[in-house]
């Protein structure tokens, strides 16, 4: 098994990646937010020239799971190779839920991955599975079987929106996060939420130095022995109660002036407001709002979670320098939070679109961040293989090489299609005149069968769409006739930069991999950039897996 020694993004199916790259008991914390089997297609909305929602939408993934040969193969692999209790559980579920339906397909594919995730967790590790009510009850049974019910810790309920109008039923405005540990020896750092206003109002007393304080009961339920309170002598607690501190604790409270004596000469705990960390976080998380349309954090990814949500999870269940894994990382909130808090991280996603978004996000938030990307083509040969396997994934990857915004298309190769403007696969924006809309660079991607007619058609598209420049990205080397056809298109003159740029440009994948760039004015706002973030944790040395 190949070791991972640095922050890594993986493109591909997480199941074979986990098996090939991630050793046993090497990960400290796993967070996963898999598709919910809710039978919906999610659209990625990119920033347009005005910064508003774009009409051009990219389907990032379709979260309907289907029963097919792959699912059937995975099911039989689990029955044959997984621990017996997992095989028995999955067989019983198939009997109960039924054969060959979407829910069962979803649960089979999730079971295979959860078995692997349990394998890679350290004994001190934890797993958080983010889901909704459509399958959370089934997923909990699967997790109980794999992890054991004794290591189930919480069903966290996150209030993800203020209200939701669902016809003829109660509004669904929450998500579920199932929290499990690998063993009883888990990493746990208590996290706190803010006190409510009514609690803060209790701190009405004030010391001479201005510090606010309040007094609280020093006893708890259950009879206990007396304690000595300094020169006040020994005192017994009220009947049926006990002092909440042992004698050493009482002595420390007295030494630190933390005892308040009532008028009837009874001791109470003196607590300062500036010493209270807050309320220990409970199972209901209603204090982390979702990402609204005006949020600076919003990137336009449909299932993007707030950074604060992942920060709470990572702070609670890992330490600086630990390894955090997100096997369905989407736009990368978990890895961004891990980087911010000084953890090492691994992210996996099955679309090149997500890998591109994550790369841009990490570079925007942390300009000095270092990470590797595994699974993307590194040479022309592997690019040809990607184009052969899935030409729409190839298209997204090729567009990412020039940081172009994709237009149209869907995650599956069978569902892919051109953008709203026919003949355009992507777009880059640049500003050339003050107080005027940005100019457009139209990008077309071809994996084969290019000739001079391809360039003529692109030129016609450029004129029809009134773009400034057009770029053809091609796997094949352009012919002499193609180059001549591009030259005859002439030049775009930039008044602001006082430079001329070829209107039609042809770049091969080989040239892009060697660092060649489009000749154009500096791009402006093609993708909505994530705001820069200050790292909260200290820099950590690399931890070899």
Structure tokens at 28: 């400290």
Residue 380 has pLDDT above 90, yes or no: yes
Spatial distance between the Cα atoms of 108 and 72, rounded to a whole number of angstroms: 9
| Confidence bin at 434 (pLDDT 50/70/90) | confident
Asked if 413 contacts 393 with a C-beta cutoff of 8 angstroms, the reply is yes
Which domains are assigned to the chain? Answer: 8-193+280-374 (3.40.50.150), 197-277 (no CATH), 385-513 (3.40.1350.10)
pLDDT of 366: 93
- Is the pLDDT score of 539 beyond 60? no
Transcribe 428-457 into DSSP letters: EEE--STTSPPEEEEEEEESS---HHHHHH
Residue 53 has pLDDT above 60, yes or no: no
**Interatomic CA distance for residues 153 and 125, integer angstroms:** 13
Specify the DSSP element, H or E, that contains 20. Answer: helix 14-21
CB 503 within 8 A of CB 469: yes
Q: pLDDT band at residue 172, thresholds of 50, 70 and 90?
A: confident
Q: CA 73 to CA 252: how far, in whole Å?
A: 64
Cβ atoms of 326 and 32 closer than 8 Å: yes
The rounded percent of the chain whose pLDDT value lies above 70 is 88
Return the structure tokens found at 468.
């400034």
Give residue 421's pLDDT band: very low, low, confident or very high (50, 70, 90): very low
**pLDDT at residue 99, as a whole number:** 73
Contact 469, 463 (CB under 8 A): no
pLDDT over 90 (residue 529): no
Which of the four pLDDT bands, split at 50, 70 and 90, describes residue 417? very low
**Predicted local distance difference test score (pLDDT) of residue 62:** 58
- Contact yes or no for 63/35 (Cβ under 8 A): yes
Q: Is 391 in contact with 417 (CB distance < 8 Å)?
A: no
Distances (CA, A) of 361 to 42, 149, 530: 20, 37, 6
Residue 74 has pLDDT above 70, yes or no: yes
Q: Which residue has the tokens 């006040």?
A: 232
pLDDT above 90 for 35: no
**CA–CA separation, 110 vs 530, rounded Å?**
31
pLDDT digits (tens, 9 = 90+) for 478-520: 999 999 999 999 999 998 889 999 999 999 999 999 999 999 9
Strands 372-374 and 8-11: parallel
pLDDT for residue 111 is more than 50:
yes
- Of residues 445 and 407, the one with the higher pLDDT is 445
DSSP single-letter state for residue 523: B
- Taking only the tens place, the pLDDT of each residue in 210-251 is 999 999 999 999 999 999 999 999 999 999 999 999 999 999
Convert the pLDDT of each residue in 243-286 to its tens digit.
Answer: 999 999 999 999 998 999 999 999 999 999 988 888 999 999 99
d(CA 265, CA 270): 14
Segment 52-75 shows an average pLDDT of 65
Residue 410 pLDDT > 50, yes or no? no
337 pLDDT band, cuts 50/70/90, is very high
């Amino acid at each position: 098994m190949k070791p991972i020694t640095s922050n890594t993004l993986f493109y591909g199916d997480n199941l074979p990646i986990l098996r090939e790259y991630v050793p046993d008991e090497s990960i400290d914390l796993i967070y996963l937010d898999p598709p919910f089997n809710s039978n919906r297609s999610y659209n990625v909305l990119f920033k347009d020239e005005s910064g508003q929602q774009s009409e051009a939408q990219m389907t990032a993934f379709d979260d309907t799971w289907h029963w097919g040969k792959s699912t059937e193969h995975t099911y039989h692999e689990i029955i044959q190779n997984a621990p017996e209790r997992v095989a028995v559980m999955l067989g019983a579920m198939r009997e109960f839920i039924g054969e060959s339906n979407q829910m069962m397909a979803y649960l089979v594919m999730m079971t295979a991955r959860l078995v692997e995730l349990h394998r890679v967790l350290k004994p001190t590790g934890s797993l958080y599975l983010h889901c909704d009510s459509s399958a959370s009850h089934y997923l909990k049974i699967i997790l109980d079987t794999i992890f054991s019910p004794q290591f189930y810790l919480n069903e966290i309920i996150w209030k993800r929106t203020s209200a939701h109008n669902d016809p003829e039923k109660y509004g669904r405005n929450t998500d579920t996060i199932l929290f499990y540990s690998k063993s009883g020896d888990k990493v746990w750092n208590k996290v706190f939420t803010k006190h409510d206003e009514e609690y803060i109002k209790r701190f009405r007393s004030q010391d001479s130095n201005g510090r606010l304080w309040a007094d609280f009961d020093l006893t708890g339920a259950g009879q206990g022995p007396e304690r000595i309170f300094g020169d006040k002598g020994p005192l017994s607690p009220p009947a049926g109660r006990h002092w909440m501190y042992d004698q050493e604790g009482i002595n420390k409270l007295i030494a630190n002036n933390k005892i308040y004596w009532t008028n009837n000469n009874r001791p109470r705990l003196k607590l300062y407001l500036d010493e209270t960390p807050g309320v220990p976080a409970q199972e209901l998380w209603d204090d982390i709002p979702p990402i609204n349309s005006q949020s600076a954090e919003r990137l336009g990814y449909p299932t993007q979670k707030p950074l604060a949500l992942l920060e709470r999870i990572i702070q609670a269940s890992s330490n600086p320098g630990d390894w955090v894994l997100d096997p369905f990382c989407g736009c990368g909130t978990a890895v961004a939070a891990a980087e911010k808090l000084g953890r090492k991280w691994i992210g996996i996603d099955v679309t090149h679109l997500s890998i591109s978004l994550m790369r841009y996000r990490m570079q925007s938030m942390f300009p000095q961040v270092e990470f590797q990307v595994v699974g993307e083509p590194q040479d022309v040969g592997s690019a040809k293989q990607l184009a052969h396997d899935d030409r729409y994934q190839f298209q997204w990857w090729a567009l990412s090489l020039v940081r172009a915004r994709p237009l149209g298309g869907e995650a599956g190769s069978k569902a892919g299609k051109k953008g709203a403007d026919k003949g355009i696969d992507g777009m880059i924006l640049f500003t050339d005149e003050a107080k005027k809309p940005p100019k457009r660079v139209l990008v077309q991607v071809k994996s084969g069968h290019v000739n001079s007619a391809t360039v003529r058609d692109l030129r016609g598209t450029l004129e029809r769409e009134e773009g400034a420049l057009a770029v053809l990205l091609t796997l094949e080397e352009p012919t002499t006739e193609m180059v001549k056809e591009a030259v005859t298109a002439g030049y775009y003159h930039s008044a602001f930069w006082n430079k001329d740029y070829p209107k039609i440009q042809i770049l091969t994948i080989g040239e892009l991999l060697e660092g060649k760039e489009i000749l154009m004015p500096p791009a402006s706002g093609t993708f909505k950039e994530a705001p820069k973030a200050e790292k909260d944790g200290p820099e950590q040395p690399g931890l070899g897996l």
